Amino acid sequence: MRFVTWLLTYAAGLAVAAWLLDGIWFEGASSGQEEIQDKILPLLIVSLILGLVSTFIEPVIKVLSLPFIILTLGFLLLVINALMLLLTARLADAFDLGFHVDGFWNALVGSLIVTIVGWGVRSALPARD
């Protein structure tokens, strides 16, 4: 159950980021039932990739850059999150999933959106014991 919640949280964040930003998008139909059918599986796979990147690669980067994170009062964490989203887009491109992030600034705003939506989804869910 925890895995499904984790996956759907990332999927919701990515879907909102793709909906709000022109620089983040999934290839496929742009409206109607065809859009949902074309984009749901790639969205879930990209969410899985982002989750795996955030689980395994991001902590290593954070530990290695800890002095700079402290020096920048945590603002480097925004850059790290944006780079993780760009890495996810690069990996999705390697697997031909049709997910694209157009540049660093879109990745930065997109990572903020994914974080905020994820926080909102997690706070809306009932607390675990």
- Based on its alpha-carbon atoms, the radius of gyration of the chain, rounded to whole angstroms, reads 15
Query: pLDDT tens-digit profile of 21-54?
Result: 999 999 987 777 887 888 899 999 999 999 999 9
Query: Which helix (H) or strand (E) covers residue 25, if one does?
Result: strand 24-26
* pLDDT > 90: percent of the chain: 78
Which residues is 24 bridged to in the sheet?
101
The arithmetic mean of pLDDT across residues 106-117, rounded, is 97
Among 17-31, 45-59, 101-115, which is the least confidently predicted range? 17-31
What pLDDT score does 38 carry? 82
Domain coordinates in residue numbering, the chain: 2-124
What pLDDT score does 129 carry? 56
The arithmetic mean of pLDDT across residues 110-127, rounded, is 91
What pLDDT score does 51 carry? 94
The arithmetic mean of pLDDT across residues 48-73, rounded, is 96
Cβ count near 26 (within 10 Å): 21
Q: Which position has the token pair 């969410």?
A: 47
SS3 101: strand
Among 35-49, 51-65, 71-85, 92-106, which is the least confidently predicted range? 35-49
What pLDDT score does 126 carry? 80
For 82: left if phi > 0, alpha if psi spans -120 to 50, otherwise beta; the answer is: alpha
